[in-house]
Amino acid sequence: MEQMDRIDFSLGADMGLKDILGATDVLPLLKAIVGAGADLAAVTDSKGKFLWAEGNIPDNKELPSMAMEAAAKEIPGKPETLKGVNWRLSTIHHEAEPIGLFFVSAPEALNERFLSNLMETAFAGLNIIIRNIVKRVFTTELHTTVVKRSYEELLETNRNLAASEKKYKELSETLEQKVEERTAELKKAHTRLLQQEKMASIGQLAASVAHEINNPIGFIYSNLNTLKKYIGNLNEIIQFYKVKGQGSEVIGKEAEELYKKLRIDFIKADIHDLIKQSIDGAERIKNIVANLKGFSHIDEAADREMNINAEMDNTISVLSNEIKDRSAKIVKQYGQAAGFFGNTGLICQAFLNILLNALQSGDDNLIITVKTEQRGDNAVIFIADNGRGIPPEIQDRIFEPFFTTRDVGKGTGMGLAVTYDIISQYRGSIEVKSEMGKGSTFVITLPLKK
Protein backbone atom coordinates (compact mmCIF):
# COMPACT_ATOMS: atom_id res chain seq x y z
CA MET A 1 0.00 0.00 0.00
CA GLU A 2 1.36 3.45 -0.82
CA GLN A 3 2.13 5.77 2.10
CA MET A 4 -0.74 8.19 2.83
CA ASP A 5 -0.35 11.92 3.46
CA ARG A 6 0.11 12.95 7.07
CA ILE A 7 -2.43 15.10 8.90
CA ASP A 8 -0.47 18.14 10.15
CA PHE A 9 -1.79 21.10 12.17
CA SER A 10 -0.30 24.17 13.79
CA LEU A 11 -2.76 25.00 16.60
CA GLY A 12 -1.79 24.34 20.21
CA ALA A 13 1.45 22.40 20.27
CA ASP A 14 0.37 20.56 23.46
CA MET A 15 -3.01 19.45 22.12
CA GLY A 16 -3.62 15.70 22.12
CA LEU A 17 -5.95 13.74 19.88
CA LYS A 18 -8.71 13.67 22.55
CA ASP A 19 -8.38 17.46 22.89
CA ILE A 20 -9.31 17.75 19.21
CA LEU A 21 -11.83 14.95 18.67
CA GLY A 22 -14.86 13.64 20.53
CA ALA A 23 -16.90 10.46 20.18
CA THR A 24 -19.64 12.26 18.22
CA ASP A 25 -17.02 13.39 15.70
CA VAL A 26 -15.37 10.00 15.10
CA LEU A 27 -17.89 7.19 15.74
CA PRO A 28 -20.21 7.96 12.76
CA LEU A 29 -17.22 7.64 10.41
CA LEU A 30 -16.03 4.40 12.07
CA LYS A 31 -19.54 2.93 11.87
CA ALA A 32 -19.72 3.81 8.16
CA ILE A 33 -16.38 2.02 7.56
CA VAL A 34 -17.61 -1.15 9.31
CA GLY A 35 -20.89 -0.90 7.41
CA ALA A 36 -18.94 -0.81 4.15
CA GLY A 37 -17.34 -4.20 4.87
CA ALA A 38 -14.51 -3.73 7.41
CA ASP A 39 -14.56 -5.79 10.61
CA LEU A 40 -12.67 -3.23 12.72
CA ALA A 41 -12.11 0.52 12.46
CA ALA A 42 -10.26 2.32 15.25
CA VAL A 43 -8.57 5.57 16.24
CA THR A 44 -5.85 5.05 18.89
CA ASP A 45 -3.32 7.11 20.78
CA SER A 46 0.31 7.06 19.65
CA LYS A 47 0.94 3.91 21.73
CA GLY A 48 -1.84 1.92 20.09
CA LYS A 49 -4.39 2.18 22.92
CA PHE A 50 -7.93 2.40 21.51
CA LEU A 51 -9.62 5.79 21.91
CA TRP A 52 -12.64 5.07 19.68
CA ALA A 53 -13.46 1.87 17.80
CA GLU A 54 -16.27 0.05 16.00
CA GLY A 55 -16.57 -3.57 14.89
CA ASN A 56 -14.79 -6.60 16.36
CA ILE A 57 -12.88 -4.86 19.17
CA PRO A 58 -10.15 -7.02 20.80
CA ASP A 59 -10.35 -7.57 24.57
CA ASN A 60 -7.11 -5.69 25.29
CA LYS A 61 -8.29 -2.73 23.17
CA GLU A 62 -4.84 -2.37 21.62
CA LEU A 63 -3.41 -2.63 18.12
CA PRO A 64 -1.57 -5.84 17.14
CA SER A 65 2.21 -5.75 17.70
CA MET A 66 2.87 -5.97 13.93
CA ALA A 67 0.76 -2.87 13.39
CA MET A 68 2.63 -0.99 16.14
CA GLU A 69 5.96 -1.93 14.54
CA ALA A 70 4.73 -0.44 11.27
CA ALA A 71 3.59 2.71 13.10
CA ALA A 72 7.01 3.09 14.73
CA LYS A 73 8.55 3.24 11.24
CA GLU A 74 5.99 5.93 10.25
CA ILE A 75 4.68 3.89 7.33
CA PRO A 76 1.19 2.41 6.97
CA GLY A 77 0.80 -1.36 7.38
CA LYS A 78 1.44 -3.44 4.30
CA PRO A 79 -1.44 -5.57 2.93
CA GLU A 80 -0.23 -8.69 4.79
CA THR A 81 -2.45 -11.15 6.63
CA LEU A 82 -2.32 -10.85 10.42
CA LYS A 83 -4.22 -13.59 12.25
CA GLY A 84 -6.42 -14.05 9.17
CA VAL A 85 -7.21 -10.31 8.84
CA ASN A 86 -6.05 -7.80 6.19
CA TRP A 87 -5.28 -4.35 7.66
CA ARG A 88 -4.22 -0.81 6.85
CA LEU A 89 -2.64 1.75 9.19
CA SER A 90 -1.97 5.52 9.01
CA THR A 91 -0.31 7.86 11.50
CA ILE A 92 -1.98 11.11 12.63
CA HIS A 93 0.50 13.94 13.22
CA HIS A 94 0.23 17.25 15.09
CA GLU A 95 3.07 19.79 15.04
CA ALA A 96 5.25 17.16 13.28
CA GLU A 97 4.72 14.70 16.17
CA PRO A 98 2.58 11.53 16.05
CA ILE A 99 -0.47 11.88 18.29
CA GLY A 100 -2.51 8.91 17.16
CA LEU A 101 -3.11 6.07 14.72
CA PHE A 102 -5.93 5.25 12.31
CA PHE A 103 -6.44 1.48 11.80
CA VAL A 104 -8.82 -0.51 9.57
CA SER A 105 -8.94 -4.30 9.21
CA ALA A 106 -11.18 -6.55 7.12
CA PRO A 107 -11.80 -10.26 6.42
CA GLU A 108 -9.39 -11.97 4.03
CA ALA A 109 -12.25 -12.43 1.54
CA LEU A 110 -12.57 -8.67 1.09
CA ASN A 111 -10.89 -7.37 -2.06
CA GLU A 112 -7.56 -5.75 -1.14
CA ARG A 113 -8.02 -2.92 -3.63
CA PHE A 114 -11.43 -2.15 -2.13
CA LEU A 115 -9.87 -2.18 1.36
CA SER A 116 -7.21 0.28 0.17
CA ASN A 117 -9.83 2.53 -1.44
CA LEU A 118 -12.00 2.34 1.69
CA MET A 119 -9.01 3.28 3.88
CA GLU A 120 -8.05 6.20 1.64
CA THR A 121 -11.63 7.53 1.57
CA ALA A 122 -12.06 7.12 5.33
CA PHE A 123 -8.65 8.69 6.11
CA ALA A 124 -9.56 11.66 3.92
CA GLY A 125 -12.85 11.96 5.83
CA LEU A 126 -10.99 11.90 9.19
CA ASN A 127 -8.61 14.52 7.79
CA ILE A 128 -11.57 16.78 6.97
CA ILE A 129 -13.19 16.26 10.39
CA ILE A 130 -10.00 17.12 12.30
CA ARG A 131 -9.19 20.13 10.13
CA ASN A 132 -12.71 21.52 10.57
CA ILE A 133 -12.54 21.17 14.35
CA VAL A 134 -9.10 22.80 14.53
CA LYS A 135 -10.31 25.65 12.32
CA ARG A 136 -13.36 26.12 14.54
CA VAL A 137 -11.19 26.26 17.68
CA PHE A 138 -8.84 28.68 15.96
CA THR A 139 -11.75 30.91 14.92
CA THR A 140 -13.19 30.91 18.45
CA GLU A 141 -9.84 31.86 19.97
CA LEU A 142 -9.37 34.58 17.38
CA HIS A 143 -12.85 36.01 18.02
CA THR A 144 -12.30 36.00 21.81
CA THR A 145 -8.95 37.75 21.43
CA VAL A 146 -10.39 40.41 19.13
CA VAL A 147 -13.33 41.14 21.46
CA LYS A 148 -11.08 41.35 24.52
CA ARG A 149 -8.64 43.70 22.83
CA SER A 150 -11.44 45.90 21.51
CA TYR A 151 -13.01 46.12 24.98
CA GLU A 152 -9.72 47.14 26.62
CA GLU A 153 -9.07 49.75 23.96
CA LEU A 154 -12.54 51.25 24.46
CA LEU A 155 -11.93 51.57 28.21
CA GLU A 156 -8.66 53.34 27.55
CA THR A 157 -10.40 55.60 25.03
CA ASN A 158 -13.07 56.59 27.56
CA ARG A 159 -10.44 57.55 30.12
CA ASN A 160 -8.65 59.67 27.54
CA LEU A 161 -11.92 61.33 26.41
CA ALA A 162 -12.56 62.53 29.97
CA ALA A 163 -9.12 64.19 30.05
CA SER A 164 -9.57 66.71 27.26
CA GLU A 165 -11.45 67.52 24.06
CA LYS A 166 -8.23 67.56 22.11
CA LYS A 167 -7.32 64.08 23.23
CA TYR A 168 -10.86 63.00 22.35
CA LYS A 169 -10.46 64.04 18.73
CA GLU A 170 -7.07 62.36 18.42
CA LEU A 171 -8.31 59.10 19.91
CA SER A 172 -11.46 59.16 17.76
CA GLU A 173 -9.33 59.01 14.65
CA THR A 174 -7.22 56.21 16.13
CA LEU A 175 -10.32 54.29 17.21
CA GLU A 176 -11.88 54.53 13.78
CA GLN A 177 -8.78 53.04 12.21
CA LYS A 178 -8.66 50.20 14.75
CA VAL A 179 -12.36 49.40 14.29
CA GLU A 180 -11.75 49.04 10.56
CA GLU A 181 -8.87 46.66 11.26
CA ARG A 182 -10.95 44.58 13.69
CA THR A 183 -13.86 44.49 11.26
CA ALA A 184 -11.55 43.18 8.54
CA GLU A 185 -10.30 40.46 10.91
CA LEU A 186 -13.85 39.42 11.78
CA LYS A 187 -14.74 39.20 8.08
CA LYS A 188 -11.77 36.89 7.54
CA ALA A 189 -12.91 34.72 10.46
CA HIS A 190 -16.42 34.57 8.99
CA THR A 191 -14.99 33.51 5.61
CA ARG A 192 -13.17 30.64 7.30
CA LEU A 193 -16.44 29.54 8.91
CA LEU A 194 -18.12 29.42 5.50
CA GLN A 195 -15.30 27.28 4.15
CA GLN A 196 -15.64 24.99 7.18
CA GLU A 197 -19.31 24.36 6.36
CA LYS A 198 -18.43 23.41 2.78
CA MET A 199 -15.76 20.96 3.96
CA ALA A 200 -18.23 19.47 6.47
CA SER A 201 -20.67 18.80 3.62
CA ILE A 202 -17.93 17.07 1.62
CA GLY A 203 -17.09 14.95 4.66
CA GLN A 204 -20.75 13.95 4.96
CA LEU A 205 -20.73 12.85 1.31
CA ALA A 206 -17.53 10.78 1.66
CA ALA A 207 -19.18 7.88 3.52
CA SER A 208 -22.16 7.98 1.16
CA VAL A 209 -19.93 7.75 -1.94
CA ALA A 210 -17.91 4.90 -0.41
CA HIS A 211 -21.17 2.99 0.18
CA GLU A 212 -22.37 3.61 -3.39
CA ILE A 213 -19.08 2.39 -4.90
CA ASN A 214 -18.96 -0.68 -2.65
CA ASN A 215 -21.98 -2.35 -4.29
CA PRO A 216 -20.73 -2.47 -7.93
CA ILE A 217 -17.23 -3.40 -6.77
CA GLY A 218 -18.76 -6.32 -4.88
CA PHE A 219 -20.45 -7.93 -7.83
CA ILE A 220 -17.53 -7.16 -10.18
CA TYR A 221 -15.28 -9.04 -7.74
CA SER A 222 -17.78 -11.93 -7.56
CA ASN A 223 -18.08 -12.10 -11.36
CA LEU A 224 -14.31 -12.16 -11.79
CA ASN A 225 -14.01 -15.10 -9.36
CA THR A 226 -16.71 -16.98 -11.29
CA LEU A 227 -14.98 -16.14 -14.57
CA LYS A 228 -11.74 -17.52 -13.10
CA LYS A 229 -13.47 -20.87 -12.45
CA TYR A 230 -14.93 -20.89 -15.97
CA ILE A 231 -11.49 -20.33 -17.47
CA GLY A 232 -10.19 -23.25 -15.40
CA ASN A 233 -12.89 -25.52 -16.84
CA LEU A 234 -12.16 -24.36 -20.38
CA ASN A 235 -8.42 -24.91 -19.87
CA GLU A 236 -9.13 -28.42 -18.57
CA ILE A 237 -11.06 -29.50 -21.66
CA ILE A 238 -8.51 -27.82 -23.94
CA GLN A 239 -5.74 -29.75 -22.17
CA PHE A 240 -7.77 -32.98 -22.61
CA TYR A 241 -7.93 -32.52 -26.37
CA LYS A 242 -4.26 -31.58 -26.44
CA VAL A 243 -3.22 -34.78 -24.63
CA LYS A 244 -5.78 -37.27 -26.00
CA GLY A 245 -6.11 -35.94 -29.51
CA GLN A 246 -9.08 -36.91 -31.64
CA GLY A 247 -10.01 -39.81 -33.85
CA SER A 248 -11.32 -42.74 -31.80
CA GLU A 249 -14.88 -43.31 -30.69
CA VAL A 250 -13.76 -44.02 -27.10
CA ILE A 251 -11.93 -40.68 -26.86
CA GLY A 252 -14.92 -38.89 -28.40
CA LYS A 253 -17.27 -40.36 -25.81
CA GLU A 254 -14.88 -39.51 -22.99
CA ALA A 255 -14.60 -35.95 -24.32
CA GLU A 256 -18.38 -35.60 -24.46
CA GLU A 257 -18.71 -36.74 -20.83
CA LEU A 258 -16.04 -34.26 -19.74
CA TYR A 259 -17.77 -31.54 -21.78
CA LYS A 260 -21.03 -32.13 -19.89
CA LYS A 261 -19.30 -32.48 -16.51
CA LEU A 262 -17.58 -29.13 -16.92
CA ARG A 263 -20.89 -27.52 -18.09
CA ILE A 264 -19.23 -25.94 -21.10
CA ASP A 265 -22.57 -25.02 -22.72
CA PHE A 266 -23.64 -23.15 -19.58
CA ILE A 267 -20.27 -21.40 -19.38
CA LYS A 268 -20.54 -20.27 -23.02
CA ALA A 269 -23.97 -18.76 -22.31
CA ASP A 270 -23.15 -17.25 -18.91
CA ILE A 271 -19.73 -15.77 -19.64
CA HIS A 272 -21.20 -12.97 -21.76
CA ASP A 273 -23.60 -12.00 -18.94
CA LEU A 274 -20.72 -11.94 -16.45
CA ILE A 275 -18.71 -9.60 -18.65
CA LYS A 276 -21.74 -7.37 -19.32
CA GLN A 277 -22.59 -7.12 -15.61
CA SER A 278 -18.99 -6.25 -14.77
CA ILE A 279 -18.89 -3.56 -17.45
CA ASP A 280 -22.19 -2.16 -16.16
CA GLY A 281 -20.76 -2.06 -12.64
CA ALA A 282 -17.63 -0.27 -13.80
CA GLU A 283 -19.81 2.22 -15.70
CA ARG A 284 -21.82 2.84 -12.53
CA ILE A 285 -18.63 3.61 -10.58
CA LYS A 286 -17.52 5.91 -13.40
CA ASN A 287 -20.85 7.77 -13.27
CA ILE A 288 -20.67 8.13 -9.46
CA VAL A 289 -17.20 9.67 -9.70
CA ALA A 290 -18.28 11.89 -12.61
CA ASN A 291 -21.31 13.14 -10.67
CA LEU A 292 -19.19 13.93 -7.62
CA LYS A 293 -16.63 15.73 -9.76
CA GLY A 294 -19.40 17.60 -11.56
CA PHE A 295 -20.86 18.68 -8.23
CA SER A 296 -17.56 19.89 -6.75
CA HIS A 297 -16.30 21.49 -10.02
CA ILE A 298 -12.74 20.89 -8.83
CA ASP A 299 -11.40 21.90 -12.26
CA GLU A 300 -13.11 25.29 -12.15
CA ALA A 301 -12.23 28.30 -10.00
CA ALA A 302 -13.58 31.28 -11.92
CA ASP A 303 -17.17 32.33 -12.61
CA ARG A 304 -18.73 31.12 -15.83
CA GLU A 305 -22.10 30.90 -17.52
CA MET A 306 -24.02 27.85 -16.35
CA ASN A 307 -27.28 25.96 -16.78
CA ILE A 308 -29.16 25.94 -13.46
CA ASN A 309 -31.00 22.71 -14.34
CA ALA A 310 -27.76 20.85 -15.05
CA GLU A 311 -26.18 21.99 -11.78
CA MET A 312 -29.30 20.97 -9.86
CA ASP A 313 -29.08 17.50 -11.47
CA ASN A 314 -25.42 17.23 -10.39
CA THR A 315 -26.35 18.09 -6.82
CA ILE A 316 -29.24 15.61 -6.70
CA SER A 317 -26.96 12.89 -8.11
CA VAL A 318 -24.41 13.18 -5.29
CA LEU A 319 -27.28 13.00 -2.78
CA SER A 320 -28.73 9.84 -4.33
CA ASN A 321 -27.74 7.64 -1.39
CA GLU A 322 -29.22 10.10 1.16
CA ILE A 323 -32.42 10.21 -0.90
CA LYS A 324 -32.59 6.42 -1.10
CA ASP A 325 -31.90 5.94 2.63
CA ARG A 326 -34.78 8.27 3.52
CA SER A 327 -37.10 6.72 0.86
CA ALA A 328 -37.68 10.22 -0.46
CA LYS A 329 -39.05 11.07 -3.90
CA ILE A 330 -37.62 13.86 -6.05
CA VAL A 331 -40.00 15.54 -8.51
CA LYS A 332 -38.36 17.72 -11.17
CA GLN A 333 -40.29 20.46 -12.94
CA TYR A 334 -37.59 22.19 -14.98
CA GLY A 335 -38.24 25.23 -17.12
CA GLN A 336 -35.87 27.61 -18.90
CA ALA A 337 -33.00 28.45 -16.51
CA ALA A 338 -29.88 29.12 -18.57
CA GLY A 339 -27.71 32.22 -18.70
CA PHE A 340 -26.74 32.64 -15.03
CA PHE A 341 -23.11 33.70 -14.58
CA GLY A 342 -21.32 32.55 -11.41
CA ASN A 343 -19.17 29.96 -9.65
CA THR A 344 -20.75 26.55 -10.24
CA GLY A 345 -19.22 25.06 -7.09
CA LEU A 346 -20.77 27.74 -4.87
CA ILE A 347 -24.20 27.44 -6.52
CA CYS A 348 -24.14 23.64 -6.08
CA GLN A 349 -23.18 24.17 -2.43
CA ALA A 350 -26.23 26.41 -1.96
CA PHE A 351 -28.53 23.83 -3.60
CA LEU A 352 -26.98 21.03 -1.50
CA ASN A 353 -27.63 22.82 1.80
CA ILE A 354 -31.31 23.42 0.99
CA LEU A 355 -31.84 19.85 -0.28
CA LEU A 356 -30.22 18.41 2.86
CA ASN A 357 -32.48 20.63 4.96
CA ALA A 358 -35.49 19.29 3.03
CA LEU A 359 -34.35 15.65 3.45
CA GLN A 360 -34.18 16.20 7.22
CA SER A 361 -37.62 17.82 7.37
CA GLY A 362 -39.78 14.69 7.27
CA ASP A 363 -39.92 10.98 7.96
CA ASP A 364 -42.33 8.94 5.81
CA ASN A 365 -43.56 9.62 2.26
CA LEU A 366 -41.24 12.62 1.86
CA ILE A 367 -41.60 14.34 -1.51
CA ILE A 368 -39.21 17.09 -2.61
CA THR A 369 -40.26 19.12 -5.64
CA VAL A 370 -37.63 21.09 -7.55
CA LYS A 371 -38.97 23.66 -10.00
CA THR A 372 -37.10 26.19 -12.18
CA GLU A 373 -38.37 28.96 -14.41
CA GLN A 374 -37.34 32.25 -15.94
CA ARG A 375 -39.09 35.46 -14.93
CA GLY A 376 -37.90 38.43 -16.93
CA ASP A 377 -34.17 38.82 -16.32
CA ASN A 378 -34.13 36.38 -13.38
CA ALA A 379 -33.92 32.63 -12.89
CA VAL A 380 -36.23 31.45 -10.10
CA ILE A 381 -35.65 28.14 -8.28
CA PHE A 382 -38.26 26.54 -6.00
CA ILE A 383 -37.29 23.71 -3.62
CA ALA A 384 -40.39 22.48 -1.78
CA ASP A 385 -40.98 19.59 0.64
CA ASN A 386 -44.01 18.11 2.39
CA GLY A 387 -42.18 17.73 5.70
CA ARG A 388 -42.94 18.97 9.18
CA GLY A 389 -42.62 22.67 8.37
CA ILE A 390 -40.86 25.50 10.23
CA PRO A 391 -42.49 27.12 13.30
CA PRO A 392 -43.53 30.74 12.52
CA GLU A 393 -41.59 32.14 15.48
CA ILE A 394 -38.22 30.98 14.09
CA GLN A 395 -38.72 31.48 10.35
CA ASP A 396 -36.97 34.88 10.52
CA ARG A 397 -33.91 33.30 12.16
CA ILE A 398 -33.15 30.28 9.97
CA PHE A 399 -30.55 32.19 7.92
CA GLU A 400 -28.66 33.36 11.02
CA PRO A 401 -25.18 31.83 11.57
CA PHE A 402 -25.12 29.01 14.14
CA PHE A 403 -28.92 28.88 14.46
CA THR A 404 -30.18 25.29 14.38
CA THR A 405 -33.16 23.32 15.67
CA ARG A 406 -31.28 20.02 15.58
CA ASP A 407 -29.81 18.27 18.64
CA VAL A 408 -26.36 19.26 19.88
CA GLY A 409 -23.67 17.64 17.74
CA LYS A 410 -25.99 16.99 14.79
CA GLY A 411 -25.73 20.33 13.03
CA THR A 412 -23.48 23.40 12.91
CA GLY A 413 -26.25 25.87 12.13
CA MET A 414 -24.20 27.22 9.23
CA GLY A 415 -25.81 25.48 6.22
CA LEU A 416 -28.57 27.99 5.45
CA ALA A 417 -26.35 30.90 6.54
CA VAL A 418 -23.80 29.83 3.92
CA THR A 419 -26.57 29.52 1.33
CA TYR A 420 -27.82 33.04 2.12
CA ASP A 421 -24.30 34.48 1.73
CA ILE A 422 -23.74 32.68 -1.59
CA ILE A 423 -27.02 33.89 -3.09
CA SER A 424 -26.43 37.45 -1.81
CA GLN A 425 -22.95 37.40 -3.33
CA TYR A 426 -24.55 37.16 -6.78
CA ARG A 427 -27.13 39.90 -6.08
CA GLY A 428 -29.85 37.30 -5.67
CA SER A 429 -32.45 36.70 -2.98
CA ILE A 430 -33.73 33.74 -0.98
CA GLU A 431 -36.90 33.44 1.07
CA VAL A 432 -38.87 30.66 2.73
CA LYS A 433 -42.59 29.97 2.97
CA SER A 434 -43.58 27.34 5.51
CA GLU A 435 -46.65 25.97 7.24
CA MET A 436 -46.54 23.52 10.14
CA GLY A 437 -47.56 20.02 9.10
CA LYS A 438 -47.56 20.87 5.38
CA GLY A 439 -43.92 21.58 4.56
CA SER A 440 -41.65 24.38 3.38
CA THR A 441 -40.76 26.06 0.09
CA PHE A 442 -37.46 27.87 -0.48
CA VAL A 443 -37.52 30.38 -3.34
CA ILE A 444 -34.19 31.50 -4.84
CA THR A 445 -34.01 34.35 -7.36
CA LEU A 446 -30.81 34.85 -9.37
CA PRO A 447 -30.13 37.55 -11.99
CA LEU A 448 -29.38 36.18 -15.45
CA LYS A 449 -26.46 37.37 -17.54
CA LYS A 450 -27.45 40.24 -19.86
pLDDT tens per residue across span 382-422: 999 998 888 888 888 888 776 666 554 445 556 788 888 88
Domains 17-111 and 297-447 share a fold: no
Kindly indicate the confidence band of residue 380, based on its pLDDT and cuts at 50, 70 and 90: very high
Exposure pattern of 97-126 as b/e (b: 16+ CB <10 Å)? ebbbbbbbbbeeebbeebbbbbbbbbbbbb
Q: Which tens digits make up the pLDDT trace of 105-139? A: 888 878 888 888 888 888 888 888 888 887 887 77
Whether the per-residue pLDDT at 450 is higher than 60: the answer is: no
Report the C-alpha gap between 267 and 56 in whole angstroms. 39
Whether the per-residue pLDDT at 75 is higher than 70: the answer is: no
Report the C-alpha gap between 442 and 432 in whole angstroms. 4
Helix (H) or strand (E) holding 160: helix 112-163
Percent of all residues in the chain with a pLDDT value above 70, rounded to a whole number: 74
Kindly indicate the confidence band of residue 82, based on its pLDDT and cuts at 50, 70 and 90: very low
Whether the per-residue pLDDT at 3 is higher than 50: the answer is: no
CATH code, residues 17-111: 3.30.450.20
Q: Which tens digits make up the pLDDT trace of 202-235? A: 555 555 566 667 777 776 777 777 777 777 777 7
Report the C-alpha gap between 222 and 217 in whole angstroms. 9
Report the C-alpha gap between 160 and 157 in whole angstroms. 5
Kindly indicate the confidence band of residue 4, based on its pLDDT and cuts at 50, 70 and 90: very low
Kindly indicate the confidence band of residue 199, based on its pLDDT and cuts at 50, 70 and 90: low
Q: What is the pLDDT of residue 291?
A: 59
Q: What is the pLDDT of residue 141?
A: 74
Report the C-alpha gap between 40 and 198 in whole angstroms. 29
Kindly indicate the confidence band of residue 87, based on its pLDDT and cuts at 50, 70 and 90: confident
Report the C-alpha gap between 236 and 242 in whole angstroms. 10
Kindly indicate the confidence band of residue 331, based on its pLDDT and cuts at 50, 70 and 90: very high
Q: Chain-wide mean pLDDT for the chain? A: 77
Phi, psi of 299 (to 5 degrees): -90, 0
Please state the domain extents for the chain: 17-111, 297-447
Q: Which tens digits make up the pLDDT trace of 160-171? A: 766 766 666 667
Give the CATH class of 297-447.
Answer: alpha beta
Q: Which tens digits make up the pLDDT trace of 247-301? A: 555 566 777 777 778 777 777 777 777 777 777 777 777 766 665 665 555 445 5
Task: Measure CA of the first residue to CA of the last residue in the chain; give whole Å.
Answer: 53
Beta-strand runs (E) in 49-194: 50-55, 81-82, 85-94, 97-107
Report the C-alpha gap between 326 and 447 in whole angstroms. 33
Axis crossing angle, helix 415-425 with helix 165-244, rounded to the nearest 10? 100
**Of 216 and 323, which is predicted with more confidence?**
323
Helices in 164-296 by DSSP H: which ranges? 165-244, 249-261, 264-296
